[in-house]
């Protein structure tokens, strides 16, 4: 008997998460190409960013000094605009949305990394992400889990660091712990990817995870 045909995940919202340098972006592109080859509309986007307004806010957040509350408010303002202008319309059209980071990053970076009040983040999340169907969250989140020391080595050669990438290793240990806490709290939404492996081995993990879902 032949296997059931693969059904690409129309109208699904998939986020890619992890500390800086974990390897998300490379694999997001590969997943997008896989589904585009099958004729699916794929929207590749990122946070902060994804719309002209949100990209302007991204530039401020990544390059201007500010306190933690200002940072959190700008990130959620960018997210609100991104959800309204880009993500929600794409999902309604039946596209699959692949987003390089979403709100788990805010809980990991602003919450665990900066020590910002998690209750305030939860309130902002509910204001910004509430829609007709309830709180908008990714359907699936791929967490690229990597030791911060390894991520830092990968990034050294890659580019000039922004405000977050200049943080010390202790900051990224806290961010990683923040991601782990999200992963443990919502195991049904998350898949942990062992990002310490080679690019090819990481691609195999992702392919296996997609195959499990028939995607
Ligand atoms: N499995 C891997 N092994 C070794 N190097 C890798 C691996 N995956 C990615 N890299 C390299 O590490 C660097 C960071 O990768 P990438 O930009 O995909 O990470 P990222 O998680 O998207 O980072 P950021 O969030 O900071 O943009 C790049 O130079 C990339 O070529
Ligand atoms: C969504 C989001 C992002 N950040 C930080 C994490 C990264 O250091 C940068 C984005 O850069 P990338 O190269 O596109 O990964 O922004 C954050 O602190 N909080 C967030 O909610």
CATH of the domain at 58: 3.40.50.300
Name the region of 189 (left: φ>0; alpha: ψ -120 to 50; beta: rest): alpha
- Residue 30 counted as domain residue: yes
Domain that residue 174 falls in:
10-211
pLDDT at position 1: 47
| Structural domain total, the chain | 1
Centre of ligand 2 to C-alpha 163, Å, is: 10
What's the predicted TM-score (pTM) here? 0.96
Which atom of ligand 2 is least distant from the CA of 47?
A: 1
Binding residue positions: 18-25
Structure tokens at 82: 């991104």
- Residue 2 counted as domain residue: no
pLDDT at position 131: 87
Q: Is the preceding peptide bond at 48 cis, omega within 30 degrees of 0? A: yes
Query: What mean pLDDT is reported for the chain?
Result: 95
Centre of ligand 2 to C-alpha 61, Å, is: 9
For 78-133, how does the pLDDT look when each residue is reduced to its tens digit (9 = 90+)? Answer: 999 999 999 999 999 999 999 999 999 999 999 999 999 999 999 999 999 998 88
Sign, CA dihedral 74-80-84-88, equals positive
Q: Which residues pair with 47 in a beta bridge?
A: none
- Residue 150 counted as domain residue: yes
Centre of ligand 1 to C-alpha 151, Å, is: 8
Closest-CA residue, ligand 1 atom 2, reads 199
- Residue 56 counted as domain residue: yes
Tell me which of 77, 80, 104, 109 to substitute to probe ligand 2's pocket, judged by most ligand atoms within 8 Å of the beta carbon: 109
For 181-204, how does the pLDDT look when each residue is reduced to its tens digit (9 = 90+)? Answer: 999 999 999 999 999 999 999 999
b/e map 41-51, b = 16+ CB within 10 Å: ebbbbbbbbbb
- Residue 3 counted as domain residue: no
Nearest to 175 by CA among 206, 196, 154, 152: 152
Q: Which residues contact 143 (CB under 8 A, 6 or more apart)?
A: 17, 18, 104, 179, 182, 183, 190, 191, 192, 193
Structure tokens at 97: 């949305």
Which atom of ligand 1 is least distant from the CA of 154?
A: 12
Query: From the CB of 75, is ligand 2 less than 6 Å away?
Result: yes
Which atom of ligand 1 is least distant from the CA of 197?
A: 1
Binding residue positions for ATP: 18-25
- Residue 5 counted as domain residue: no
The phi, psi pair for 38, rounded to 5°, reads -90, 5
6 pLDDT more than 90: no
- Residue 178 counted as domain residue: yes
Q: Which residues pair with 143 in a beta bridge?
A: 17, 192
Interface predicted TM-score (ipTM) over 0.85 = yes
* pLDDT tier for residue 2 given thresholds of 50, 70 and 90: low
pLDDT at position 3: 64
Q: How many CB atoms lie within 10 A of CB 206?
A: 19
- Residue 138 counted as domain residue: yes
Residue 138: CA count within 13 A, CB half-sphere:
29
Tell me which of 20, 25, 27, 32 to substitute to probe ligand 1's pocket, judged by most ligand atoms within 8 Å of the beta carbon: 25
Structure tokens at 170: 């202790």
Centre of ligand 2 to C-alpha 101, Å, is: 7
C-alpha torsion angle, residues 167, 20, 78, 103 (rounded to 10): -110
């Amino acid at each position: 008997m032949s296997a059931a045909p693969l059904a690409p995940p129309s109208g699904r919202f998939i986020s890619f998460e992890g500390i800086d340098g974990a390897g998300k972006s490379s694999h997001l592109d590969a997943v997008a190409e896989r589904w585009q080859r099958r004729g699916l509309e794929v929207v590749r986007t990122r946070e902060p960013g994804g719309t002209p307004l949100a990209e302007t806010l991204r530039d401020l957040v990544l390059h201007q000094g500010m306190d933690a509350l200002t940072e959190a408010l700008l990130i959620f303002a960018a997210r609100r605009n991104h959800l309204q202008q880009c993500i929600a319309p794409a999902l309604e059209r039946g596209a699959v949305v692949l987003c390089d980071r979403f709100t788990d990053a805010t809980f990991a970076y602003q919450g665990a990394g900066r020590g910002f009040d998690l209750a305030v983040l939860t309130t902002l999340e509910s204001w910004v992400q509430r829609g007709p169907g309830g709180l908008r969250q990714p359907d699936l989140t791929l967490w690229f889990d990597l030791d911060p020391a390894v991520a830092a080595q990968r990034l050294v050669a890659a580019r000039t660091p922004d405000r977050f990438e200049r943080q010390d290793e202790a900051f990224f240990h806290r961010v990683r712990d923040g991601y782990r806490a999200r992963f443990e709290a919502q195991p049904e939404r998350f898949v942990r990817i062992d990002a310490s492996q080679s690019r090819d081995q990481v691609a195999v993990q992702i392919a296996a995870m997609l195959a499990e879902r028939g995607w």
